[in-house]
Amino acid sequence: MEKILNYIDGKLIEPVGAQYIENIEPATGKVYSLTPDSDHRDIEMAYEAASKSFRKWAELPAAERSRILLRISELIEQNLETLALAESKDNGKPLKLARMVDIPRARDNFSFFATAILHTSTDTYDMGLSGFNYTLRQPVGVAGCISPWNLPLYLFSWKVAPALAAGCTVVGKPSEITPYTAYLLGQLCIKAGLPPGVFNIVHGYGHKVGQAITEHPGIRAISFTGGTSTGKRIAQSAAPHLKKLSLELGGKNSTIVLEDCDYQKALSTAVRASFSNQGQICLCGSKILVQRGIYDRFKKDFVAKVSELKVGDPYSETTQMGALVSENHLEKVLSYIDLAQEEGGKVLTGGQRIQLPAPFDGGYYLEPTVIEGLPATCRTNREEIFGPVVTLLPFDTAEEAIAMANATEYGLACSIFTSDLNSAHLMARQIEAGVVWVNTWLLRDLRTPFGGMKSSGIGREGGRYALEFFTEPKNICVAY
Ligand code: NAD
């Protein structure tokens, strides 16, 4: 069986303990490769390599770093089909989605930050005849980048690319559930001529490898995307070392549909926002608030569209939803469907595991599920389900919709559909979320700040926000 390898000091190597974790294809439920079960010894090696290469990488002119990162971006483009297939096999997502979204975005993450560093400038502060100040932004040192399984290469590269562009060297850990495209990325970095040690990838479990990264005294900054409870644990481990932290955590996002919206656009976007990637995107709108005057019509049309979604073979061109990422995760999502019913919710469509014919009979498929009849304050409407399960809730006034959207510990994203732009701007101001869309969903400009409030995280990624995270400002004051 194929063994995935760690990428340390420019080489693809086995973990020190020579232990492996079975890597499962969610579409079939079968083991298809082995992931290194690394530990603190592998992290120590990765750290040594990253630390040794730091000065040289940090002091390279930005144009040099840019050239190498652009080469990585080009290689991702050249290998798009291989990477998309690998992502689909590892995660269960439709191949079409990996081809159109995940891998192009990984390519763009590298080219965006490779070119962003060619256009940055720093500040000066004139003090008249007393002197002046200038501020350098210097890379923090070795950075730790830890990513989740839902958008594997997309989110891993969203951290690694700005870290490398800023001049940091990196110890990275992709999710043990979806390690494969990070393994391929390591191979592309070797081809691109990235100097050894600048970027290291250590595979394995969060409680071993992730924990070793967050506790390592030499790793000065941690950029983490994943669940809120893991984020809290990381904040605790990092605190004694006073590390810089960027935490992109869970969400419970609302889609708000007002009576005066462009109805067809709101309807089709709400379906996409609910079920893209089997509902496993932190930005998915899983709580759909619909103004009372159009509630019944919207419910009927929404349920009709959802029941037509084609769930199945991720490799088929016509599939709209593939498999959930794992048996455990499927069980968790099913438990929320049970909870919703215990809380008094009514399943309008879906709710059941799907049994497909061979070779997909062991895969983790779930019907897209729509539930109504629950108050905004119940657990189903406050907690993150992270699967193809959404609830419909009626509201009367904009104020009521805002209160319902904010009635959760999370604060990541929200979409508002209305033709009254004044009302949209006013509502957007009052929504407790780091990202608000008006008449759209998941339209991304990589320059904008990305991240959440409340339990959805600390800090922002994207554009200069990411470059600032991976650098420290140093003020130099000069007297005449
Ligand atoms: P997770 O928290 O279980 O794991 C994320 C990563 O952290 C994995 O690589 C894991 O191995 C590692 N990890 C686990 N325990 C660790 C520890 N003690 N120390 C260090 N690292 C550890 O999350 P997941 O299940 O992989 O991903 C789903 C979650 O990610 C959802 O809650 C989702 O909302 C969130 N997410 C957030 C965003 C965002 O941008 N805000 C984007 C995507 C996903």
CATH number at residue 413: 3.40.309.10
Ligand 1 center to residue 290 CA distance, Å? 31
CA 203 – ligand 1 centroid, Å: 14
Binding site membership of 282 for ligand 1 (Cβ less than 6 Å): yes
pLDDT at residue 414 in the model: 98
Q: Tell me the residue range of the domain where 38 lies.
A: 2-249+457-479
206 lines ligand 1 (CB under 6 A): yes
Task: Find the 417 Cα to ligand 1 centroid distance in Å.
Answer: 30
Statement to judge: residues 259 and 242 lie in one domain: no
Using the atom order of ligand 1, give the atom closest to the CA of residue 148.
26
238 near 451, Cβ under 8 Å?
no
> Ligand 1, atom 21: nearest CA belongs to which residue?
210
Protein residue closest via CA to atom 15 of ligand 1: 206
Going by CA atoms, what residue is nearest to atom 40 of ligand 1?
248
Q: Which of 21, 146, 384 to mutate to test the pocket of ligand 1 (most atoms within 8 A of CB)?
A: 146
Check if the beta carbon of residue 279 is closer than 8 Å to that of residue 388.
Answer: yes
For the Cβ of 449 lying below 6 angstroms from any atom of ligand 1, the answer is no
Distance in Å, CA 273 to ligand 1 centroid: 20
Does residue 226 have its Cβ closer than 6 Å to ligand 1?
Answer: yes
Query: Which tokens belong to 395?
Result: 């509201």
Residue 271 sits in the same domain as residue 219: no
Instruction: Tell me the CA–centroid distance for residue 152 and ligand 1, in Å.
Output: 11
Nearest CA residue ID for atom 37, ligand 1: 249
320 and 422 co-located in one domain: yes
The residues carrying an active-site annotation are 248, 282
DSSP state of 129: G
Could you tell me if 285 and 404 lie in one domain? yes
Whether residue 440 contacts residue 269, with contact meaning beta carbons closer than 8 Å, is answered with yes
What is d(CA 415, CA 258) in angstroms, rounded to the nearest whole number? 11
Report the distance separating Cα 370 and Cα 390, nearest Å: 5
pLDDT at position 59 is 97
Q: Is this complex scored with an ipTM above 0.90? A: yes
Residue 65: CATH number of its domain: 3.40.605.10
Report how far ligand 1's centroid is from the alpha carbon of 236 (Å): 15
234 lines ligand 1 (CB under 6 A): yes
Question: Quick one: pLDDT at residue 220?
Answer: 97
Q: In sequence order, what are the beta bridge partners of 233?
A: none
154 Cβ closer than 6 Å to some ligand 1 atom: no
Classify residue 365 by burial, with Cβ atoms within 10 Å: 0-12, 13-18, 19+: buried
3-state secondary structure 225-241: ECCHHHHHHHHHHHHHH
Helix residue ranges, H only, 61-219: 62-78, 80-91, 95-97, 103-116, 152-166, 180-192, 211-215
Residues 187, 56: one domain? yes
CA of 449 to the centre of ligand 1 (A): 20
Tokens of 17: 């303990």
245 plus 220 within the same structural domain: yes
Q: Is the CB of 158 inside a 6 Å radius of any atom of ligand 1?
A: no
Confidence (pLDDT) at 113? 98
* 461 and 441 together in one domain: no
98 and 208 together in one domain:
yes
Rg of the chain over all Cα atoms, to the nearest angstrom:
23
**Coil/strand/helix, residue 6:** strand
Residues 353 and 231 in one domain: no
User: Residue 71: left if φ>0, alpha if ψ -120 to 50, beta else—which one?
Assistant: alpha
**Total domains, the chain:** 2
Q: Which atom of ligand 1 is nearest to the CA of 173?
A: 9
Same domain, residue pair 239 and 308 = no
Q: Does residue 38's CB lie within 6 angstroms of at least one atom of ligand 1?
A: no
Would the CB of 408 count as within 6 Å of ligand 1?
no
Q: Is the CB of 277 under 6 A from ligand 1?
A: no
Q: How confident is the model at residue 444, as a pLDDT? A: 97
Q: Are residues 237 and 287 in the same domain?
A: no
**Average confidence (pLDDT) per 10 residues, the chain, 480 residues:** 97 98 98 98 98 98 98 98 98 98 98 97 96 98 98 98 98 98 98 98 98 98 98 97 97 98 98 98 98 98 98 97 98 98 98 97 98 98 98 98 98 98 97 98 98 98 98 98
- Say whether both 170 and 204 belong to one domain: yes
The best mutation among 145, 207, 230 to test binding of ligand 1, ranked by most ligand atoms within 8 Å of the C-beta, falls on 230
Check if the beta carbon of residue 223 is closer than 8 Å to that of residue 159.
yes
Q: How high is the pLDDT of residue 63?
A: 98
Rounded Cα distance, 131 and 117, in Å: 28
**Can you tell me the distance from the alpha carbon of 473 to that of 139, in angstroms, rounded to the nearest whole number?**
9
